[in-house]
Amino acid sequence: MRKSLYLIFLLFFSVASYAQVNEQEKLRQLEIQRQADKQRAIDRQIDSVAQLIEIEQYQAAEDKIIAILKTVRSVPSDLTFFLGKTSFHLFKYKQSVDWLNKYIQLKGTNGQYSEEAISIKGKAEVGLLKEREIESQAAAQVFSKDFDIDCGPTGKVVCPVCRGSQVIIKKGYFGNTYKTCGYCNHTGTLSCEDYNKLLKGTLQPSAN
């Protein structure tokens, strides 16, 4: 009798455990699906931004980008390019340089839009030098320091301080001095979290 009760209890416990594990797996799969659906929705919105830029509807493109920024925690790298390009055509040169710099830092010269980003950034910098009312316009512009930038699948970025060399070179009267970069921890790269801290001025260098 006791053996039968034990077997019944063991069977019940096994079934309950399996059901719990199965339910957890279902929840995990649902969350993966939810994230995938969300990413596809964002990708569709970014595609629509590109289409607006193509037909030179720059203000509509910027409005749509700002709406997207309100829904994401990390900014997709392609969006940094599109906002930089849109800003240039809206004569917001400081904003354009700001966002295009982020794209170039993330993608280097190998990104899909790298060549165009470098070209537009150069033109924006010229426009910025000529701009006389930049301070009065700054409050109405969208700067990347207000958002976390998505560093892509690697989760890493070449350190903007030492440019990946791990060394900071300072020119002096008696020649150059060399100092180990205190930001990248001897790797030449920053994690996405540290990169965003650096952009916001909150990343503290380590003691060399």
Max CA-CA distance within the chain? 95
* pLDDT < 50 positions in the chain: none
What are the extents of the domains in the chain?
A: 72-146, 156-200
CA distance linking residue 192 with residue 75, whole number of Å: 12
Q: What is the pLDDT of residue 129?
A: 85
Contact 183, 162 (CB under 8 A): yes
Q: What is the pLDDT of residue 153?
A: 85
Q: What is the pLDDT of residues 41-95, one digit of tens each?
A: 788 888 999 999 999 999 999 999 999 988 888 888 899 999 999 999 999 999 9
CA distance linking residue 168 with residue 172, whole number of Å: 13
pTM for this structure?
0.61
Phi-psi label, residue 201: left if phi above 0, alpha if psi -120 to 50, beta otherwise: left
